[in-house]
Amino acid sequence: MAFTSCILKNVDSGQSVKLCAGKQFVGRSRETKIQDTRCSKKQVECDVDLDVGSIALRVLGANPSAAGGLELTAGQTATLRHGDSLQLLSGRHEFVVQFSPTPGRGQSEAGKRKECEDGTSGEKDGSSLKRPRSEATAEESFEPNMMETKEEEWTSAENDGILLFITKGVKPAARIAAFDIDGTIITTKSGRTFAKDRDDWQILCSEVPGKLKELVHRGFKIVFITNQMGISKNKLQPEDLRVKLRNITARLGVPVQCLISPGDRWFRKPRPGMWEYLTTKGNGSCKVDMSESFYCGDAAGRLEGWQPKRKKDFSCSDRLFALNIGLRFCTPEELFLGRPATPKYQLPAFDPRAAVDEGKRMAPETAARAEQEVVVLVGPPGSGKSHVTRRQLVPAGYVPANRDTLKSWQKCVQVVEQAVKEGKSAAVDNTNGDRESRQRYVALGRRLGVPVRCLLMTTSLAQAKHNNKFRELTDPSHQHVTEMVFNMFKSRYEEPTEDEGFSEVTRLACVPTFDDRERERLYRFYLTEK
């Protein structure tokens, strides 16, 4: 065997319990505050592998425990190795894992942990911890793609969609500890929400540097993933950000790889673009271990009062980013201060994954009618009006009238009138949110003796914003719709009714359908921040 024994050592008392190979239960003993297999209060289940030097941990008790500073609740799992910490009842009864012989020293040839080609060590799958640098031998050699950075790097990637700042000493690793920066690693010295200059920052709390150094010692690569829209708006100069990051990382004293999104493209959180770049191009040949990695951020969607006198979070983008990429998520209060996870948070009302799944179960609704008519579609931008017009009404012979194309409502009325005179049906593909804009077509229908039907899209504003962002990301020619446009529609909106002169008000749900799997995959991601 590579290791002869494994113990859990109590940090406070120094007492220890020996764990044997195989499964056993760990909890809390009244006499020693250490647990062996005889205790009836089973908190966690440990499966010890002495060949590799790891403990597969699963939480059993109702009360949360913590592994490596990350809180775990009943049913959740984690992997512990030499030097990792375990807290039974988070914040209490802390233990450290110790394998013997000490990893990297005095092991038999069969038990040596070889360096995997990504710069981490692992006898089986490359997921175990890399030895501390002080324990590496001078004879070790590495391939270029696994060498640590020799000097600071500042560059861009993906057609300037990502800016990269990499300090000296960064190496590929299977275990990624990823962080937002503002509100998570640092805060402003001035107390302002946004920094007044590149020097207006301070470390969030005194525990941050020590925790990051602990993570590096345990084999994690520290990665900062941050949105910096101020760059694209010319409110923040790239060189000022570079200087700021250089000073922050120097204060922290750990090697850091920083990925920055300067605009509103695929790489802006909560969209997964920066993480996809990191895992495919920014980590050498090393495959990221998703079960061991995590993401920490302050934009967690927490509601007002999640802590006494604390306002609600400005956004949910960090929690949604972790959901999109499938990483365990924690807040800085949980990771750095050991506080329990707050249940007071709220995800967006619109879940794109559920919408796709629900759409597959629904029978398609037909918007077209056999008789001649004028259809006035009603709904905000992105509510599915154009999708219905293009996929259902136009193939059925309806003539479309769209203000974005025709540039004025007067021309839309002319197109509709011409179509009706030719014996065709017409579809008015505009927002038509207020009664006045709809009356133009109701009056036209009365004059020409053709029924006018209202087709009301039941799409929520949240889904409409998601749809709009999806179109922007998948169709570069699609015009950007600002938040102001949605707010104007909402403020002027009047619910359509038959007493306006409509022959009928038909409600139609927006059901997302896709031509290929890649577009469906993209739609399933949370694309907006709230």
Q: Give pLDDT tens digits for 375-389.
A: 999 999 999 999 999
Give residue-wise pLDDT tens across range 228-272.
999 999 999 999 999 999 999 999 999 999 999 999 999 999 999
- Whether the domain at 5-104 and the domain at 357-524 fall into the same CATH topology: no
Q: Which CATH class, in words, describes the domain spanning 144-337? A: alpha beta
CA-CA distance, 408 to 11, in Å (whole number)? 74
Average pLDDT on 48-52 reads: 86
In 3D space, the residue among 376, 375, 345, 349 whose CA is nearest the CA of residue 461 turns out to be 349
**What is the per-residue pLDDT for 65?**
78
Between CA 308 and CA 320, with CA 314 as vertex, the angle to 5 degrees is: 110
Nearest to 291 by CA among 499, 115, 79: 79
Region 357-524: CATH code: 3.40.50.300
Q: What is the mean pLDDT of residues 64-75?
A: 72
Q: Quick check: pTM over 0.75?
A: no
Q: What is the pLDDT confidence band of residue 38, given thresholds at 50, 70 and 90?
A: very low
**Residue 76 φ/ψ, nearest 5 degrees:** -80, 155
User: Which amino acid would we find at residue 209?
Assistant: P
pLDDT at 504: 96
Query: At residue 140, does pLDDT exceed 50?
Result: no
Check: CB of residue 335 under 8 Å from CB of residue 68.
Answer: no
Q: Tell me the pLDDT tens digit for each residue of 81-103.
A: 888 778 776 556 778 888 888 87
469 pLDDT more than 50: yes
In whole angstroms, give the CA distance from residue 148 to residue 41.
46
From CA 180, how far away is CA 296, in angstroms rounded?
6
pLDDT band at 123 (very low <50, low <70, confident <90, very high): very low
The fold adopted by the segment(s) 5-104 is Tumour Suppressor Smad4 (2.60.200)
The pLDDT tens digits for 398-428 are: 999 999 899 999 999 999 999 999 999 999 9
In this predicted structure, the answer to whether residue 507 has a pLDDT above a threshold of 90 is: yes
More confident residue, 24 or 382: 382
Q: How far apart are CA 527 and CA 356, in angstroms?
A: 14
Q: What is the DSSP string of 221-273?
A: EEEEEEE-TTTTTTSS-HHHHHHHHHHHHHHHTS-EEEEEE-SSSTTSTTSSH
**Structural domain boundaries of the chain?**
5-104, 144-337, 357-524
The secondary structure of 52-86, three-state, reads CCEEEEEECCCCCEEECCEEECCCCEEEEECCCEE
Give residue for tokens 């030719």: 422
Percent of the chain with pLDDT over 70: 87
pLDDT of residue 124: 34
Q: What is the pLDDT of residues 189-225, one digit of tens each?
A: 999 989 999 999 999 999 999 999 999 999 999 999 9
